[in-house]
Copies of this chain bind each other. A is one copy, B any other.
Amino acid sequence: MTMAKRDTYTPDSLLAVAVEVFNERGYDGTSMEHLSQAAGISKSSIYHHVRGKEELLERAVGRALEGLFAILDEPGAVRGRAIERLEFVTRRTTQVLMAELPYVTLLLRVRGNTRTERLALARRREFDQRMAGLLTAAVAEGDLRADMDVKLATRLLFGMINSLVEWYRPGAGARADEEVAAAVVRLAFDGLRT
């Protein structure tokens, strides 16, 4: 039995704790009891903030998805040649992943067992399709190699970006983060070869 502390949580700070537990134990493996223990407040205090763990999941993946979809409305994503927009979205997606690491990590681990998870998967697919659309447009404009299946290229591009959740650790500073984003763009568009 842990000593319950006074509930001074804001929606955001409680969410941060919940996301940490979800990423550690898996969403399915997390109970309200686990959340209560991690937050150091009673279950009824948590219920004061949210209806249950699915609402926490919804907010967490919502935060990740909002961050990602907002990229698509930025000027760099809507103006110019498709290849420039694609590069922009690739760089920004990498940056949002680093800035919102626990939330995007959770989003990428969603399985589809609940309605919230299925909605999140559908939104992820929508984002992938927007990216695939940019690739198709860039091929049509002659800026992207035509000898690669667009669906396959999209998967490999996201595979590279999303791998960051496995090895990226924040705290190395803005310059180091910029180097990571630049490396993703360089590798994806120009390759390793000189």
77-95 of chain A: CB within 8 A of chain B: 83
State the CA gap A81–B147 with chains docked (Å): 26
83-140 of chain A: CB within 8 A of chain B: 83, 135, 138
State the CA gap A93–B178 with chains docked (Å): 29
Given A156-B163, A157-B192, A191-B191: A179 and B149 interface contact (C-beta under 8 Å): yes
Point out the residue from B145, B152, B194 that lies within 8 Å of A142, measured CB to CB.
Answer: B194
Point out the residue from B145, B161, B163, B167 that lies within 8 Å of A186, measured CB to CB.
Answer: B145
Interface string of A177-194 (1 = CB under 8 A from B): 001100110111111111
**Cβ of A158 under 8 Å from chain B:** yes
> Which chain B residues lie closer than 8 Å to A142 at the CB level?
194
**Size range of the interface on A?**
35 or more
Given A186-B145, A186-B147, A188-B191: A159 and B160 interface contact (C-beta under 8 Å): yes
Contact at A192–B189, with CB atoms within 8 Å?
yes
Interface string of A137-178 (1 = CB under 8 A from B): 010001111111100110111111111101100000000000
Binding site for B on A (CB under 8 A): 83, 135, 138, 142-149, 152-153, 155-164, 166-167, 179-180, 183-184, 186-194
25 A–B contacts, CB within 8 A, in A order: A83-B193, A138-B192, A144-B192, A144-B193, A144-B194, A145-B186, A145-B192, A145-B194, A148-B186, A152-B183, A156-B160, A156-B163, A156-B183, A157-B192, A158-B163, A159-B159, A159-B160, A159-B166, A160-B160, A160-B163, A186-B191, A187-B188, A187-B191, A188-B192, A190-B191
